[in-house]
Structure 1
Amino acid sequence: MLIASLRGFRILGVLPLLFASAPAGADEPLSVEILRIDPRPSEITYTLTGTIEAVDDYPASFRDGGRIIEVAVETGDALERDDVIARVDATEAGARLRSAEAALQAAEAALVQARQARDRAANLLDEGNGTQSDLDAAVQAFLSARSERDQATARRAVARRAAEDTVLRAIEPAIVIRRSAEPGQVVPAGQAVVTLANRGPRDAVFQVPDIPELDAFLGSDVRLSPLDGGRGCDATVTELAPVVSGNGTVQAKVRIEGEAAGRFSIGQPVVGVVTLGRPTALVVPWTALTATADGPAVWTVDAEDNRVRLAPVKIDGYSDSGIRIAGGLSEGAAVVGAGSQYLFPGREVQPLEVTK
């Protein structure tokens, strides 16, 4: 949504009056509002509506997948590090872990026996009651048992990790911005269960019409306020999309840093007010505008004989307070405002009240 307003319009002619009826004598000067038009700097204010989005978000998923038995969070929940997000059925993973632990215990027992056999073979050889081949065989059996123990240790670590991975936990303080799975659902490895956003900066995202002042938005100050009321903040437009979308708008992002970011929640609708300076321009009131067969025009007053003529104009923009003129009028021109509906070419006029 876009609302535009112009400021900086200064009337240098006379104050307007309302006319109830046309004057009776066309040969007498008609009292009208006359405005001296000088170029004035102006501003244009845009009021935009948008939403709060996370600067950084990422999916949270199970390493091995499985059937979900619990999802412990809802959209909008704030999480601390290690908070439980969801669980999958741990029956199979628990069984693998118990089997791996039993295999490790057996491998450790075999290693103890192999070590004892090696030491015994070495002692017998030293006493002259054993042979080198017996020692070599005992050493080979010990090395094999140690290798089996190491492999069993690694298998137990994998099984333990798989058992731990049946519980999905937050890796940092975060906010849940989307929940994508429900209890009873079977999810493959890597499928998002929830989407998280960190608690850092926020972006207010707006769709801005593709207007001539678009480039001036980048770096402009914006006053942000929640759409439903509440404490707002001042921020800056940090990004403009390089392309125009299919609906004729351009995405603009306003970065919210620090403590102010905590005032806005992800997905919250917000209002942004941007005021941009515009180049100096001639501005006439709405009462001055009339039209010819060729387009818009205004009545100008000849300074020598106070008679009026129609001057075609080119319009640059509209607002509640006036009309920006892009061409057709010169600086200092005298233009008729209120009362212009009673004029015809050559009609003599006089000001209602002269303003110095």
Structure 2
Amino acid sequence: MLLWGGDAMIGNGWVGRGLNAVTLCAALMLATPFAHAEEPLPVELFTTTRSTQTLTFSLTGEVVARDTLRASFPSGGRIAQMQVEEGDHVESGAVLAQMDSVQQAQALRAAQAGLSTAQANHTQAIEDLDRQDTLLERGATTRISRDSAEDALRIAEGALTQANADLDRAQRALDDTTLTAPTNATVIKRLAEPGQVVGAAQPVLELALGRQIDAVFDMPEVLMATPHDVGDIDLSLIDRPDTHFTGTLREVSPLVDAAAGTVAVKITVDDSHPYLTYGDAIRGTVTVTDAPRITLPYTAMSATAEGPAVWVVDPDTMAVSLRPITVERYETGWIILSGGLEENEQVVTRGAQLLYPGRIVRAAGEPQ
């Protein structure tokens, strides 16, 4: 093998400047770590402390009735009159709407006529049977004629029963053309108008039963995972922000809206106000005190293959190490931790992109 260096050649007995060049390169390579020894990296440090935070959550919802009912006609037809408007208070039995009842009235009159005929036939059958009994006692008629009269009476009794049933059915059909309030209620919404043809059991009015009201909110699913005890809830109307009243949590839906990712939450309104009406927009506010937790600036965030981490400084050697953390939640500019750090530990907040395990650092602004 030949090694050329300047004008000298090793391998054929030549000795010259090449040997000196190789020796110099080797010496430089060995001396490089010492010549380029890293100085402490200036970084920003943050000392951890535990602090208690006050959390405020506000949502906008709607005032609704506790119990509602959708009123409808039992049979289909054309609506002739709507007797109420939205917001009206009605008493039990009050007429709410009237359907066109011409056919039902005609059917009732036909049933009444049929009942009159059946009653007359029944009366005639009774008289015929009495006459046949009298004649049979005198021997002026036969047993067959008497039994035929009795059979005719039984047929007349059946026809009379059928006529009564037809009359009841016709009367009920006519009554069904009038929609009445089942109890004291408030009209929330009109779902049909006069002249409209509706089907059987198609809702035409929505009623609020009683005076109990709730506030319904669509809460984001992520807030449901926040473990806080909720007491009284501060409520205020959107158009009356200076007026406040309280409510209590009554019901949380077990289902999540797949489209919106929200959960329906119902709040019982404790204080009823005269200007509080169904459909009003309402704001609910909850204030809770969080447990003491360690809070870090968002710039301290790093990551490992297992998840979030931060660079922690050893106070004795000022060497850094990467430590996993457990994040409770994120806030604007801050990270709230639930585990991974203790109080009075120093964490790198700026300059973390230049770090590696064991790197020596110093606080920015301190003399070297």
Do both share a fold (TM > 0.5)?
yes
Map of 1:90 onto structure 2:
101
Q: Distance in 2 between matches of 1:261 and 1:215?
A: 32
Q: How many residues align?
A: 302
Partners of 2:143 and 2:270 in 1: CA distance: 75
1:269-317 CA-partner distances (Å, limit 9, x unpaired): 1111112332311347xxxx5958969xx9x99999xx9x9x9998843
Contact persistence 2:80–2:100 (CA under 8 A): yes
Distance in 2 separating the partners of 1:51 and 1:45? 20
Spell out the pairing of 1:31-70 with structure 2 (5 A cutoff). Answer: 38-70=49-81
CA distance in 1: counterparts of 2:157 and 2:221, whole angstroms: 72
Conserved? CA contact 1:43–1:278, under 8 Å = yes
Displacement after TM superposition at 1:87 (Å): 0.8
Contact 1:219/1:238 (<8 A) preserved: no
Q: Cα gap change, 1:51/1:293 in structure 2, threshold over 3 Å: closer, same or farther?
A: closer
Q: Quote the residue 2:251 is aligned against.
A: 238
Partner of 2:220: 209
For residues 99 and 242 of structure 1, do their structure 2 counterparts lie closer, same or farther at Cα, with a shift above 3 Å needed? closer
For the pair 1:317 / 2:366, whether they are aligned, the reply is no
Which residue of structure 1 lines up, in the alignment, with residue 277 of structure 2? 265
Tell me the equivalent position of 2:365: 347
The structure with the larger Rg is 2
C-alpha distance in 1 between matches for 2:255 and 2:101? 48
Task: Report how far residue 192 of structure 1 moved.
Answer: 1.6
Shift, 1:53, TM fit: 2.9
The equivalences for 1:86-125 within 5 A come to: 86-125=97-136
Given that 1:223 and 1:274 are in contact with CA atoms closer than 8 Å, whether structure 2 keeps it comes out as yes
Note the alpha carbon deviations across 1:157-181, whole angstroms, 9 max, x for none.
1111111111111112223233221
For residue 292 of structure 2, give the secondary structure of its aligned residue in structure 1.
strand
1:195 lines up with 2:213 in the alignment:
no
| Whole-Å separation in 1 of the counterparts to 2:47 and 2:302 | 25
> How far apart are 1:82 and its partner, in Å?
1.1
SS, match of residue 172 in structure 1: coil
Change (3 A) 1:64 1:326: closer
Q: Verify the 8 A CA contact 1:282 1:326 in the aligned structure 2.
A: yes
Conserved? CA contact 2:246–2:269, under 8 Å: no
What secondary structure, in the 3-state scheme, does the structure 2 residue paired with 1:68 have? Answer: strand
Contact persistence 1:233–1:260 (CA under 8 A): no
> Aligned with 1:64: secondary structure?
coil
The answer to whether the 8 A contact 2:230-2:288 is kept is no
Q: Distance in 2 between matches of 1:78 and 1:203?
A: 18
The RMSD of aligned alpha carbons is: 4.1
Could you tell me how far 1:182 is from its partner in structure 2?
1.1
CA change 1:242–1:156 in 2 (3 A) is closer
Tell me the residue number matched to 1:225: 236
Deviation at 1:153, TM superposition (A): 0.8
Cα distance between partner residues in 1 of 2:153 and 2:228 = 75
* Structure 1 residues 188 and 84: alpha-carbon distance in aligned structure 2, compared to 1, 3 A threshold: same
Deviations 1:191-231 (A, max 9, x none): 22122232264332212223366353686542222222245
Give the 3 Å change call, closer, same or farther, for CA 212–156 of structure 1 in structure 2. Answer: closer
Query: Are 1:180 and 2:191 an aligned pair?
Result: yes
User: Cα 1:156–1:137, aligned 2, differ >3 Å: closer, same or farther?
Assistant: same
CA contact (8 A) 1:218 1:238 kept: no
Instruction: After superposition, give the CA deviation of every residue in 1:106-143 in whole Å (9 maximum; x if it has no partner).
Output: 21122111111111111221233232222111111111
Q: Is the Cα contact below 8 Å between 2:115 and 2:163 reproduced in 1?
A: yes
Distance in 2 between the 1:41 and 1:313 partners?
23
Aligned partners of 1:220 and 1:237 also within 8 Å: no
Q: Is contact 1:218–1:237 with CA below 8 Å preserved after alignment?
A: no
For the residue of structure 1 that corresponds to 2:110, the secondary structure is: helix
Matched, 1:71 2:89: no
Name which structure has the greater RCO, CA cutoff 8 Å, separation 6+. 1
